[in-house]
Structure formats: C-alpha cells, structure tokens
Amino acid sequence: MKARVSKKAKLGKGVRVGAGTVVYDNVVIGDGTVIDEHCEIGCPTGLAQGKPLVIGARSRIRSHSVFYEGSVFGDDLGTGHYVLARERCRVGRGLSVGTRCDLEGDLEIGDWVRAHSGVHVAKGTVIGDFAFLSPRVMITNDPFPPSFVTKGVTIGDMAVVASGVLLMPGVTVGMGAFVAAASVVRADVPELQCAAGDPAAVFAPIDRFFSPEHGRYHPWVARFRDRYPKASWPAMRRTLARVERALAARARPAAS
C-alpha cells in the first residue's frame, strides 16, 4: 500500500513518508522529517480555523500516529507509536512523546519536553521547558465532568511528574518541582518543592530531597544532561541557572 500525499501539502527536502500513510492538503513538513507507516497527517477539522499542521525539521513520527491540522510542532519532534495530536497545539523544539500519548489540543508545550508512554494531556494545559512527564501521567481539565467548564493545568520549567500521577483541573506544578509516583495533585505544588500522596502534600524542598542510595539528585538536569541531545544543552544551562538562582534566593535569610 503506497502513501497518499496531497499535492497541496508542502514537504521539505528529504522528507520520507511510509506506506499506508495519508498526508492531507493543509500540511507543512520540515526538511529531513521521517513519517512511518499508517499515519494520518493533517486530518481536516473546522476547529483548526483553516490553519495548517506544521511539523518542524528532522522530526520522526512513528507508525499509526494521527495529527490534526491547525497545530505547530517545532524542530526535532519525536513520537512513539499511536500518538494522537489534536488541533491548536503550540509546541516548541525537541518534544519527545511516547507511545499512546494523547495531546488533546488547545495547549502549549515548551522546548525539550519529555512525555513518556500513555500520558494524557487535556485541553488548556501549559507545560514549560524541560518538563519531564513519566508514564501514565493523567492531566485533567474538567472540574465537574461532564461539563463545559475547563480549568487548564500548568507545569513549570524543569518540573518532574512521576509515573501514574493524576493532576486535577486547574492545578499548577511550579518550576523545578517534583511530584512522586501515584500522587493525586488537588492543589498547587510550589516551585522547587517535592510533593507526594493523595492529596499530594509537600514533604521537602528539592535540594533537601536525598536518596540513601544515590544521595542528592535534584536539580535533576545536572545529573541527566547526557540523555538529551547536545543541541539542547545551551537552553538547559539557562533554565538550570534560573532554578539554581531561585534555590539560592530561597536559602537566603529574609532581610530584617
């Protein structure tokens, strides 16, 4: 089965499209992007208001993924299999999104974000740079389901949300914060704090979060940089510097 690529779609140099994939009219794909078999790219929807699906250069979209028109993804996007991305997603560079993730549209994602397998991102979500979402994180937005009320979740730069966490509508996980696995976040987690439980409660600032086996780990990026492409390192240093300045400010005694 051959790919079906619309003559109206705009494909950059070296773009490869796998067998059985459909690329619709309203699509712009950057140079060097590879799209695997049996994907749908640029699915038409009136909710896109005529805006194209834009996929940046050097991206890799794996099989059976579906992307609607009306979203913009920066360079170096990478997906697992069976990923769904709805309309009006605004995504920076270097997003890595795992198998069977749902991006439900009307959301903003910063640069170099990682969302592992099975993550659900509801409409209205805002995610900062270098945020790290472990498998099966569930981000919700409806406080009175089913209703027409939407309260989006905000996740700050370099925040870590561990496996199986449920983020309730409207909460904020602050810059550099850490949420432990299987927690239910019903209220805001302040920046630079660790939280756990149901309801999640703060138990330590990140620079006092120690493992008996591994010692101090956070800010985590200082020990995990090599797992990211070198192209991300300058931005990583800048974001880490912001986190460290905030830690230093918190550590200073208040002026009398």
* Residue 256 domain-assigned (yes or no): no
pLDDT of residue 254: 54
The closest of 21, 17, 19, 15 to 33, measured between CA atoms, is 15
pLDDT of residue 212: 79
- Per-chain mean pLDDT for the chain: 95
Domain that holds residue 9: 4-251
CB 209 within 8 A of CB 218: yes
Q: What is the pLDDT of residues 162-219, one digit of tens each?
A: 999 999 999 999 999 999 999 999 999 999 999 999 999 999 999 888 777 777 777 8
Cα 234 to Cα 163, 168, 228: the distances in Å are 28, 33, 11
Residue 253 has pLDDT above 70, yes or no: no
CB 26 within 8 A of CB 52: yes
* Residue 184 domain-assigned (yes or no): yes
pLDDT of residue 54: 98
Residue 231 buriedness (CB in 10 A; 0-12 / 13-18 / 19+): middle
* Residue 200 domain-assigned (yes or no): yes
In the structure, what pLDDT confidence band is assigned to residue 223 with cuts at 50, 70 and 90? confident
Residue 90 maps to which CATH number? 2.160.10.10
3-state SS assignment for residue 250:
helix
* Residue 226 domain-assigned (yes or no): yes
Proportion of the chain above pLDDT 70, given as a percent: 98
AA identity, residue 200: A
* Residue 105 domain-assigned (yes or no): yes
Q: How far apart are the first and last CA of the chain?
A: 74
How many structural domains are present in the chain? 1
Q: Round to whole Å and give the CA distance between 187 and 173.
A: 9
pLDDT of residue 256: 43
* Residue 208 domain-assigned (yes or no): yes
Q: What is the pLDDT of residues 51-86, one digit of tens each?
A: 999 999 999 999 999 999 999 999 999 999 999 999
Show contacts of 66-70: CB within 8 Å, 24+ apart.
Answer: 66/39, 66/40, 67/39, 67/40, 67/41, 67/42, 67/43, 68/42, 68/43, 68/44, 68/105, 69/24, 69/26, 69/27, 69/42, 69/43, 69/44, 69/45, 70/45
AA identity, residue 195: A
